Structure 1
């Protein structure tokens, strides 16, 4: 599903109105009707429901006027509060305000402390609050008057539905610079706005409903950016599937180089995840010091020992053995649990500079490249890196705060600069390809913030690449499946005691949904 910024949505609206001759008043009417439909799904029949609508003087307020009319016609008891002067309402919004007044309905002003007190009294008696104050053009912060109203709305305990975007969120960035409406549901029009799906905005959206208001799909040709929200439908399109008759060699060979003394679990999780992703054959190379542990633990994954140092890290003398095995593999995953020994870090650099098969680089594999990220754009293989914000900071030289404040911008810039796919972990994982494509993953939950979770993700991505997905598509699908497995686990077990191994067990139940669609 395409993601747009507020300014891009303005271009889409302009194109629909001026090139496709769809009157703005029609788009506004459609938007209002769709919100009313969602209200029906949330609350049932609105008859006798007490509704407070907070409207601004722009088009978002105009949507609110349409909603007021339709709810009133369905028997709801509507109180409409207007923030701003009536004579500042223009265009399509004015037409709908005039209709509301023509129906003999009141408009309550929201200009003074006295008016705020009226709003608070209305909120206390309401069943539903509609936020139609600010739309996608909002930037900055609201004044003290609205701040007081927002506080009352957020503390009311009443159902809150935001029109297009909760007031207080910047549509282009997700930034919240002051008070903001916290919605239970947000009904956004045509396409999800970027600020609704990334931090901080995503924390205020509640359940996001994307509704069609009759804008022709062809208008997207006017938008040059390539940003997407990952959805089940998208992953179904990417899923490799199995059509038979086939054998294990047809589903790819994964080589995993991982582990060190005391860190065997990371290596085992990554290898098992590659197998769970559907790879035909998975081979795990670990230091000799932990080989027996890995061999005893794994039954469906092949293992082999690598020359190691006295401290149980992979030695640089293992380079030739690893490169030889890369020749018979479709993809190599490097990093989980390798440790940060200087000799191992040099080994990692020499591996990735000498291979031509796709590579997934994670954890200590990334740490080995700290201060050497400029080498990434000279690598011959198709590379996927999967840093968390701290690792991304070490690679780029930015602070973690800088990374978190511009997760999409920095990730997209570095993906292009380094010529690789970057998956930046965290709440709403960001995946960027070297071609400028950007994906925001919406699956996952806080219970996944535990040791080993990232190792599972590394294996999933490698397993999908082995089956023929491009590195970018494998990263997108891997992040989605990883998060969905976490969500299934949370539903069954809760989040407090969730372990990385729990995700592994649930991956097949997640991917089964795609197999039913793809497999004949």
Structure 2
């Protein structure tokens, strides 16, 4: 599913209307029909539809017409007057008037009272006030109307985006509708990706309104949100004649005293997601402990420098960082791996923490590097605050990837995977997974898929999706989900998507 900003949607609409000669009223009618499809007409029979003078309002007037024709009880409101009404909006407004539907104008406090009564008695309120083009704070009568809807409605359906919602950032523009369902059109809006926006949008449904691919592809910015089809179509089916050597040699450099769990989980993440041969390189004082726990993976001590260098050369991919500690030993190993490996590297946790104020080390490479920071690690890498990153995740991840020629998997709600040119958003996972070791597991999975022959970008987004999907499925029966639970169930989920 493709992602768009308000500007991209405006360009697509203009191209459809001006170049492809698709009348705007046709797109409006298609949008209205898709909204109707998302109204439970067997359950609901009375509707308050609140419109303004723009094309979002035109969608609302068209929805009102179809509901009227279906013999539903419809009460329609126009907020802010007719002056400056768009042509397509006026067409649907005029049709409603001519077929006998009363449209109440909301310009003052007395009108507000009538609106309040309507949304209280109606089963559904349809928000058709502002669309994706809103860029200023909601003020005056519009502010009051939005508050009335939020405080008195039984069920709210927003058309395209909730009114008062910044399409690009997900921020409230002064005041915002709090919808139960948002029926949005053609492309997933960038603002939907931001933290906490589900409280405004409710469930999001993306509907195709007949915009041709030629228009979308002309302006789309190579940003996507994953779905199950995307994963199924990219999982490789195993050849019946293959053997362990065909599924990669993975070197995991991880762990330190007190942090054996991180090394274990990362290594098992590689093993359980199908890697052929996995070796853990760890500190000597924890090697015996991990050797006794890891039955399918081999171990080697960091102190065996010749063997370590040999393994770096022979491995198809190296994962480095989980539980290593932020010290000179870790920094030295990260430098060694980056400067000498000609294969892909996945860097996580302390492997990233030691790069604070030393990001230029990432440029001294002969291979692909993929980093998997959470917000705190990204803050240390960039010098930016966590709050700033949280509000600008997409832009910051893309910029860091471009400037350092790396792939970034910025973990969190709607994790972002980007190489600076193509960006993929992972929608899976939930707060039941908020526990230690989850990132270590994901790092092992990514390294495993790279070792199995997947391109690093693809390995990252497939791993992120399946990792989150495991957590979601388990959380249906479990209050909280641990990394060990993910490891246990991961092969089953891979098999599901491979079929």
**Is TM more than 0.5 here?**
yes
Contact 2:80 2:142 in 1 (8 A): no
Q: 1:17 to 1:507 in 2, by over 3 A?
A: same
For the aligned residue pairs, the C-alpha RMSD in angstroms reads: 1.7
Query: What are the residue-to-residue correspondences of 1:72-221 with 2, within 5 Å?
Result: 72-156=68-152, 158-221=154-217
| Alpha carbons 1:57, 1:93 under 8 Å: kept | yes
CA distance in 2, matches of 1:292, 1:14: 66
CA contact (8 A) 1:349 1:369 kept: no
Alignment of 1:174-323 (within 5 A): 174-223=170-219, 225-307=221-303, 318-323=304-309
Given that residues 429 and 440 in structure 1 are in contact (C-alpha distance below 8 angstroms), is that contact kept between their aligned partners in structure 2? yes
Structure 2 counterpart SS, 1:442: coil
CA distance in 2, matches of 1:289, 1:148: 66
Distance between the aligned counterparts of 2:51 and 2:306, measured in 1? 68
Residues 1:45 and 2:28 aligned together: no
Asked if 1 retains the 8 angstrom alpha-carbon contact of 2:139 and 2:174, the reply is: no
| 2:170–2:194 contact (8 Å) kept in structure 1 | yes
Q: Please state how far the C-alpha of 1:181 moved relative to its aligned partner.
A: 1.3
Structure-2 residue corresponding to 1:344? 330
**Partner SS for 1:82:** strand
Structure 1 residues 243 and 17, CA, compared in 2 at 3 Å: closer, same or farther? farther
Distance in 2, Cα, partners of 1:154 & 1:319: 65
1:488 and 1:506 in contact (8 A); partners too: no
Superposed CA deviations along residues 160-185 of structure 1, whole A, max 9, x for unmatched, are 11111111211122222432112221
Contact 2:170–2:197 (CA under 8 A) maintained in structure 1? yes
Equivalent of residue 488 in structure 2, options 481, 505, 512: 505
Equivalent-residue separation in structure 1 for 2:75 and 2:279 (angstroms): 66
Instruction: Report what 1:432 is aligned to.
Output: 418
Of 163-172 and 296-305, the range deviating more from structure 2: 296-305
Q: In structure 1, the residue corresponding to 2:412 is in which secondary structure?
A: coil
For residue 309 of structure 2, give the secondary structure of its aligned residue in structure 1. Answer: helix
Deviation at 1:96, TM superposition (A): 0.4
**Alpha-carbon offset, residue 144 of structure 1:** 4.6
Aligned-partner Cα distance in 2 for 1:509–1:110: 57
Partner deviation per Cα, 1:272-318 (whole Å, 9 max, x = no partner)? 111222222222122121122212222222223332xxxxxxxxxx5
Q: Distance in 2 between matches of 1:368 and 1:503?
A: 28
2:321 — aligned with what?
Answer: 335
- Residue by residue over 1:426-468, the C-alpha shift from the partner in whole angstroms, topping out at 9 and shown as x without a partner, is 211111114x211121111122221111111111111111111
CA-to-partner distance for each residue in 1:193-227, whole Å, 9 max, x for gaps?
11123335344222221111111111123215211
In structure 2, distance between residues paired with 1:121 and 1:9:
35
User: Residue 176 of structure 2 aligns to a residue in which SS?
Assistant: coil
CA distance in structure 2 between the aligned counterparts of 1:224 and 1:146, rounded to whole angstroms = 32
**Which consecutive residues of structure 1, in runs of 5 or more, have no partner in the other structure?**
308-317
Q: Helix, strand or coil: the match of 1:210?
A: strand
Q: 1:113 to 1:410 in 2, by over 3 A?
A: same
Distance 1:129 1:319 in 2: 68
Q: Give the structure 1 partner of residue 471 of structure 2.
A: 486
Distance 1:109 1:162 in 2: 20
1:28 is matched with: 28
Say if 1:411 and 1:319 are closer, same or farther in 2 by CA, change over 3 A: farther
CA distance in 1, matches of 2:62, 2:170: 27
Which residue does the alignment assign to 1:413?
399
The whole-number CA distance in structure 2 between the counterparts of 1:94 and 1:370 is 57
CA contact (8 A) 1:150 1:180 kept: yes
Looking at structure 1, the residues matched to 129 and 338 of structure 2 have their Cα atoms a distance apart, in angstroms, of 53
Indicate which of 50, 56, 78 corresponds to 2:52: 56
Indicate how the Cα distance of structure 1 residues 299 and 152 shifts in structure 2: closer, same or farther if over 3 A, else same. farther
* Map of 1:387 onto structure 2: 373
Residue of structure 1 in register with 2:445 after alignment: 460
Query: Following TM superposition, by how much is the alpha carbon of 1:322 offset from its aligned partner in structure 2, in angstroms?
Result: 2.2
Query: For the residues of structure 1 that align with 2:432 and 2:148, how far apart are their CA atoms?
Result: 31
Work out the CA distance in 2 between the residues paired with 1:238 and 1:215: 26
Report the 3-state secondary structure (helix = DSSP H, G, I; strand = E; otherwise coil) of the residue aligned with 1:51: strand
Further displaced range: 107-116 or 414-423: 107-116
| Counterparts in 2 of 1:151 and 1:299: CA distance versus 1, 3 Å | farther
Report the secondary structure of 1:469's partner residue.
Answer: coil
1:319–1:351 CA contact under 8 A, matched in 2:
no
Q: Alignment partner of 2:8: what SS?
A: helix
C-alpha displacement of 1:148: 3.6
Q: Distance in 1 between matches of 2:468 and 2:152?
A: 32
